[in-house]
Structure 1
Amino acid sequence: MIKEFIAEHEAVYNLSGDIRRALERGELTDAKRDLVQLQHQLVDHWAGEEQGFFAVMRDDPECVTYIEALEAEHREMTVVLATADLADPDGREQVLASLATLWPHIEKEEDGLFPMSLTTLSGEQWDAAIAAWEHVHHRPVRP
């Protein structure tokens, strides 16, 4: 499942680069198209994290505050990406600023939470996290 999360991280990060480059070139139609695609990818990705992985990691009291901060970042980015007007220079700046937070956010998960999960989660917790990811994505992680 972590492999799936990392693949999703790479996809959204790459798409965020496409959006940034389109905005820099003034290609608002392309930026809007890619922004909508990014929003769809993030909805599923964040649901898989929050309903599965984060939910089981919350069993460890040391992770609760860390996870709450990550979820707050999800909410903040969701609002900005859904409401920013790309036709307005301020809206474009809001999107670019929000996208700039994406890599540090991903690092918090991949360098902090993911390694911790490998030593703290039980088999039952992994099963629950994987089942939630599969439910959100409508496909199995395991063959």
Structure 2
Amino acid sequence: MCSYCGCRDISLIGRFMTEHEEIVNVAGVLHRAVGGGDAGEVGTALDHTLAHLHPHTVAEERGLFAVLRRNPDFTDHVDRLCAEHRRLDDLAERIRAGETDLVDTFYDELREHIDKEDNGLFPAAAIELDGPDWVEAIELTPDEGPHAHGHPHAHPH
């Protein structure tokens, strides 16, 4: 994860990077569950992964990505990242349908996607956006998910 440019100090980017770490951790539980061969554990781990992933991708797309998309220099890149969100959703549904051999692909593509955001998009956004842009991105970003509003939840590990 990026730690050299200081973009993590921007509250919204810091939030997204922390969520990325949590998503990778819960996806690791999914990865290990497949090795155990218990379909129930795989389903539970997938549900938990998606409970972290979906609110996160919605928040990115409705907030930061919406603001960045207005800049023609970012539009194509943001659109590709959104397409990767859809690809991860598709892989997850196929895993749920029993194609557990896709968990490695899901996990690898997830990590690659996060790397593009943490080490590419976020540092570029830190340079490109100004104060009013950040205020708007924050205002547009939903604050939902497993950690929203201090609601506790259990990690299955």
Same-fold status (TM-score > 0.5): yes
- Residues 1:24 and 2:35 are matched in the alignment: yes
Q: 1: distance between equivalents of 2:86 and 2:105?
A: 15
Q: 1: distance between equivalents of 2:138 and 2:37?
A: 41
Q: Is the 8 A contact 2:61 2:82 kept in 1?
A: yes
The within-5 A match list for 1:23-62 is 23-62=34-73
1:55 partner letter:
A
Q: 2: distance between equivalents of 1:85 and 1:18?
A: 15
Q: 2: distance between equivalents of 1:27 and 1:34?
A: 11
- Residues 1:6 and 2:14 are matched in the alignment: no
Q: 2: distance between equivalents of 1:127 and 1:47?
A: 18
Q: Is the 8 A contact 1:39 1:82 kept in 2?
A: no
| C-alpha RMSD of the superposition | 1.6
Q: Is the 8 A contact 2:46 2:96 kept in 1?
A: no
Aligned-pair CA distance for 1:96:
2.5
Aligned-pair CA distance for 1:80:
1.8
| Percent of matched pairs sharing the same residue | 30
- Residues 1:103 and 2:111 are matched in the alignment: yes
Mark the runs of 5 or more structure 1 residues left unpaired by the alignment.
none
What secondary structure is seen at the aligned counterpart in 2 of 1:6? helix
Aligned-pair CA distance for 1:42:
1.3
What secondary structure is seen at the aligned counterpart in 1 of 2:63? helix
Mark the runs of 5 or more structure 2 residues left unpaired by the alignment.
1-11, 150-157
Correspondent of 1:113 among 102, 115, 121 = 121
Correspondent of 1:63 among 74, 78, 94 = 74
Instruction: Please list every run of at least 4 consecutive aligned residues from structure 1 whose deviation after the TM superposition is greater than 4 angstroms.
Output: none
1:77 partner letter:
L
Q: 1: distance between equivalents of 2:47 and 2:66?
A: 27
Q: Is the 8 A contact 1:19 1:34 kept in 2?
A: yes
Q: 1: distance between equivalents of 2:31 and 2:49?
A: 12
Determine the structure 2 residue equivalent to 1:129.
137
Aligned length: 135
